[in-house]
């Protein structure tokens, strides 16, 4: 991939001896969905698929960007003197948004750069292609201009740019998982204070299998922001009767004791998901650390049911993939991952059942939905790097 992106750079911008190649991973969340903006716990891991970049500094104020992922792609331009001009300008709003977010922190590049990117994360899959591109851009900026920022800063800057430049009110999980990834480990992250530890993933004869609905989703669509808004309103109502900073502060018992403070049925059920999912995630990580993969799988399944019935973010495509997976004896657990409304499921599948899983789930999906799902066996990788 390094060679591919370097050759892509030379083809678009010409030969340059100073060009360097970079990589930032995608991520999958094993459990803990829609908890990250509610001050709860999440359990993502970085993947070995992600976004590659080749970049070099310029000696003027131009930013030139090219993606190898789109047919008939052309060089897109932005200027350090008018970063706001890239708002809403398609994919380039993500890297330019990161430059803007760096500037908000006082890290202002004096000169622009040329950047070619190539991603092997399926577009719209919910495996965090946007966070991968944001962290990649931040990592490149740090390397090119010597900015004094940590990988954790890169996550926060990426989230800030997505919230404030691209208009998606996402939590911190995606950028954090991408920036802080560690090979063979998932990250048990408390989004309330960003305390975390790495948990080794020992799958003992199983693999992580991603099933892509191939239904495109876009998180800046209103449904995601509506869910977040409902949780924020529910939190403010609960804060009238209990001293909490986020829904993640509540145990299930505390939520049940105080839930009547939430005046709207829909808000109450959305808040219920956030509280119950947070507790499920804590329990799931304990189970994994104890080597109880079966219990971890059951909690994954329960997570999907809650996302389907309470949070209402799955849809027929994701439900079909998860529900068909549950029928197969060699599937330990299966659930939607990411924001929902399309994207992917993540399943833990015994090695000997992978072919049956792909065949049976794929056939049922095609018959019900009318087009194919795509399956990927993925490995857990590390964070951003210079190649």
* CA 30/CA 229 separation, integer angstroms: 24
Ramachandran bin of 32, using left for φ above 0, alpha for ψ from -120 to 50, beta for the remaining angles: left
For residue 79, report the phi and psi dihedrals to the nearest 5 degrees: -125, 140
DSSP assignment of 291-345, as one string?
Answer: T-HHHHHHHHHHHHHHHHHTS----HHHHHHHHHHHTSTTEEEEEEESS-SSSEE
Burial of 347 (C-beta count, 10 Å sphere; 0-12/13-18/19+):
buried
Catalytic site residue from 17, 36, 114, 174 = 174
Torsion of the alpha carbons at 185, 186, 189 and 194, rounded to the nearest 10 = 50
Give catalytic status of residue 174 as yes or no. Answer: yes
Q: Write down the residue that tokens 């399956």 correspond to.
A: 375
* CA 55/CA 16 separation, integer angstroms: 10
Catalytically annotated residues = 174
């Amino acid at each position: 991939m390094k060679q591919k992106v370097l050759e892509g750079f030379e083809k678009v911008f010409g030969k340059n001896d100073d060009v360097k190649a970079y990589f930032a991973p995608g991520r999958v969340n094993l459990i803990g969905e829609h908890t990250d903006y509610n001050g709860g716990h999440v359990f993502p891991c970085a993947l070995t698929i992600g976004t590659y970049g080749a970049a070099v500094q310029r000696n003027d104020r131009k930013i030139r960007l090219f993606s190898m992922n789109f047919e008939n792609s052309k060089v897109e331009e932005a200027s350090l003197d008018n970063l706001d001009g890239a708002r809403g300008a398609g994919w380039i709003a993500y890297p330019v948004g990161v430059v803007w977010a760096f500037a908000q922190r006082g890290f202002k590049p004096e000169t622009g750069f040329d950047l070619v990117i190539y991603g092997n994360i399926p577009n719209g899959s919910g495996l965090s292609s946007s966070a991968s591109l944001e962290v990649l851009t931040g990592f490149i900026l740090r390397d090119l201009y010597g900015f004094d920022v940590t990988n954790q800063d890169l996550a926060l800057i990426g989230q800030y740019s997505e919230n404030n430049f691209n208009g998606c009110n996402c939590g911190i999980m995606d950028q954090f998982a991408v920036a802080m990834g560690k090979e063979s480990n998932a990250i048990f992250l408390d989004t309330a204070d960003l305390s975390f530890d790495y948990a080794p993933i020992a799958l003992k004869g199983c693999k992580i299998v991603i099933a892509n609905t191939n239904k495109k989703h876009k998180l800046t669509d209103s449904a995601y922001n509506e869910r977040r808004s409902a949780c924020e309103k529910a939190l403010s109502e609960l804060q009238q009767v209990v001293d909490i900073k986020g829904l993640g502060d509540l145990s299930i018992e505390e939520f049940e004791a105080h839930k009547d403070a939430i005046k709207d049925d829909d808000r109450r059920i959305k808040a219920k998901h956030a509280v119950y999912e947070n507790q499920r995630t804590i329990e799931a990580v304990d189970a994994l650390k104890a080597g109880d993969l079966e219990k971890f799988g059951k909690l994954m399944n329960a997570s999907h049911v809650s996302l389907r019935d309470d949070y209402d973010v799955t849809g027929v495509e994701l439900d079909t993939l998860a529900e068909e997976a549950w029928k197969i004896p060699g599937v330990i657990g299966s659930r939607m991952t990411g924001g929902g409304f399309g994207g992917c499921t993540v399943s833990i599948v015994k090695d000997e059942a992978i072919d049956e899983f792909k065949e049976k789930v794929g056939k049922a999906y095609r018959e019900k939905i009318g087009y194919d799902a795509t399956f990927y066996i993925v490995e857990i990788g590390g964070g951003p790097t210079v190649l």
